[in-house]
Amino acid sequence: MKKQLITAASAVLLGTTLFAGAASAQSVKVQKGDSLSVLAKRYKTTVSKIKSDNKLKSDKIYVGQTLKVNGTSSKTTTKTTTTVKAASATATHKVVKGDTLSKIGKKYGMTVKELKSLNKLKTDLIKIGQKLKVKKTSKVKTTPVKEKTVSTSSLNTSKLVSDAKAQNGTPYKWGGTTPKGFDCSGFMWYIINKQKKISRQTTEGFWGSMKSVSTPKVGDFVFFTTYKSGPSHMGVYIGNNKFIHAASDGVTVSDMNSSYWKPIYLGAKTFVN
């Protein structure tokens, strides 16, 4: 009787072990970069075990091939990669006077629903100074900026830069063209108009009316692709890869080589009249 109990217990234990082993078997589709050693490490098994289970005669496997693997997959690497990608796909927008979710969404190619979801907003209400997560704009190929000191502009570039710097800190205002508040094209119109009387133009208008240059010189105008394709933002190049412009937080000096501005740089133009 005692022998029978031991045998029965052994059978239960063996059955449990076999069941656990079967439960760990899974089908794995080979991806680019996979090898038997990579899969063995990922699923905590051995190369020889994978070869035996799949009746492989060599270590060669191909993309799309389905293999039976007995082991436990680790999710840590996948989760880490996903987190990094999600973080690199967003930027921050600081809410300024006149901003609405629909206006901000249009600027960054997002819907109001996407903005609210990304920022966990329950209503459409936002306040000045609030920081919102937004999608980064699409990247365009850029040409490295090389420093040159002489400009072919018909403007007095020293005065142009001086007049621009005098407005540093002026608040942003949609459609603004005075020191009470500027938007990017309104700011450019204001400093040009101190030397040449011209009609009010948009960023696209300035892009179309100015002469293209391969690299910006001090006093030239630099253009960027922000919330839509084509020229949608501009500023004055002041040297050392810096430019002054009316940004969402007011007139400021920015670095063209920054992680935000460099990928969306569109080109440079000089004013000729």
Per-residue pLDDT tens for 97-116? 878 887 888 888 888 888 88
Percentage of the chain lying above the pLDDT 90 cut: 38
Active-site choice (93, 116, 173, 233): 233
Active-site choice (245, 251, 256, 270): 245
46-88: per-residue pLDDT in tens? Answer: 888 888 888 888 888 887 888 888 876 554 444 434 333 444 4
Residue-by-residue pLDDT tens, the chain, 273 positions: 444 433 443 433 344 433 334 445 788 888 877 888 888 888 888 888 888 888 888 888 887 888 888 876 554 444 434 333 444 477 888 888 878 887 888 888 888 888 888 889 888 888 888 898 888 754 444 444 444 434 467 889 999 999 999 999 999 999 999 999 999 999 999 999 999 998 899 999 999 999 999 999 999 999 999 888 889 999 999 999 999 999 989 999 999 999 999 999 999 999 987
pLDDT in the model for residue 95: 85
Residue among 48, 89, 87 at smallest CA distance from 69: 48
Instruction: Give yes or no: 233 in active site.
Output: yes
Pull the structure tokens for residue 65: 């091939």
Assessment of whether the complete model's pTM goes beyond 0.85:
no
Amino acid at 103: K
Return the C-alpha torsion angle 226, 232, 233, 234, nearest 10. Answer: 140
d(Cα 24, Cα 43) in Å, to the nearest integer? Answer: 10
d(Cα 216, Cα 97) in Å, to the nearest integer? Answer: 32
Pull the structure tokens for residue 13: 């234990």
Question: Domains plus CATH for the chain?
Answer: 27-68 (3.10.350.10), 90-135 (3.10.350.10), 157-270 (3.90.1720.10)
Tell me the residue length of the chain.
273
Task: Collapse the DSSP code of 247 into the 3-class scheme (helix H, G, I; strand E, B; otherwise coil) and give the result.
Answer: strand
Active-site choice (61, 134, 145, 184): 184
